Amino acid sequence: MSERFGKAPGDPFRYGVYLRPDPATCAAVTAVTTQLRAQYGIVSAGAFPPHATLVGSRHSTVDPKSIVDAVSAGIAGIERFPVYNAGVVPHGVGLIHDVHHLADGKTPNPAFTDLAAAVDTAVAPLVTPAPSPAEHRFDRASFHAHLSLASHDLYERPDLRDEVIEYVRALPVSWPDEFTGDTVTLYRTRSDDWTGRWWRTLTWEHVHTWRLR
């Protein structure tokens, strides 16, 4: 077995720090992902709780409390900020609800990027490289805040992409125009096989919630 597909100390766990949307937006995400599972068997986005990733799928051998302490210190001075819902849009192979921009729909929301950068800086010293999946390193230039609706399944079924986009846009789901970004969460995820279709066996547990001041 090659190093790329080997196991790492601390497997089968990974950690993600997310911005949790307001309850109404969470309900909208869940409505869409539930429909996609029921209609097409698409499960990857719905395998997670509704969230916008700040840092995701980080491998670490430290205890969760060390991660909580590091993030607590890293975001201590960050204030809550408005998040604007820009609607359902294609993104890569998949489909997202875009929450990356300010109200003008064009300018990236600097508060969102700053929060992600602070979390990345906080957890970076605690991360141990793992052979798989590929690391999702934070990059300020490429960071794009979003709520996933359909993702990895469509690598296997690219023929469904256009149909899924049409289907989601026709669903009678209401999205708030904006919400306050004030809730940050730490989750520990687990999969039986991070080297392959990890979303088929993904489970997660909530570890900690922070409220921005």
Q: CA 35, 37, 42, 43 torsion: positive or negative? A: positive
Here the tokens at position 2 are 């090659």
Distance CA 119, CA 211 (A): 14
pTM (2 d.p.): 0.90
Is 3 inside any structural domain?
no
Q: How far apart are CA 183 and CA 12, in angstroms?
A: 26
Residue 148 covered by a domain = yes
pLDDT at 203: 93
Residue 118 resides in a domain = yes
Does residue 120 belong to any structural domain of this protein? yes
Domain residue limits at 60 = 13-211
Q: What per-residue confidence (pLDDT) applies to 2? A: 37
Q: Which amino acid is at 103?
A: A
In a domain, 1, yes or no: no
Residue 159 lies in a domain: yes
Task: Convert the pLDDT of each residue in 55-80 to its tens digit.
Answer: 988 989 899 999 999 999 999 999 99
pLDDT of residue 139: 87
pLDDT at 53: 96
Grouped pLDDT means (10 residues each) for the chain, 213 residues: 44 91 97 97 95 92 95 97 95 93 95 97 90 70 95 93 95 96 96 84 95 94
**Which helix or strand (DSSP H or E) is residue 178 part of?**
strand 178-181
DSSP state of 62: S
Instruction: State the pLDDT at residue 4.
Output: 38
Task: Please give the tally of structural domains in the chain.
Answer: 1
Identify the CATH number of the domain in which residue 41 sits: 3.90.1140.10
Number of H helices, E strands in the chain: 5, 9
pLDDT at 7: 53
**155 lies in some domain:** yes
Q: Is 5 part of a structural domain of the chain? A: no
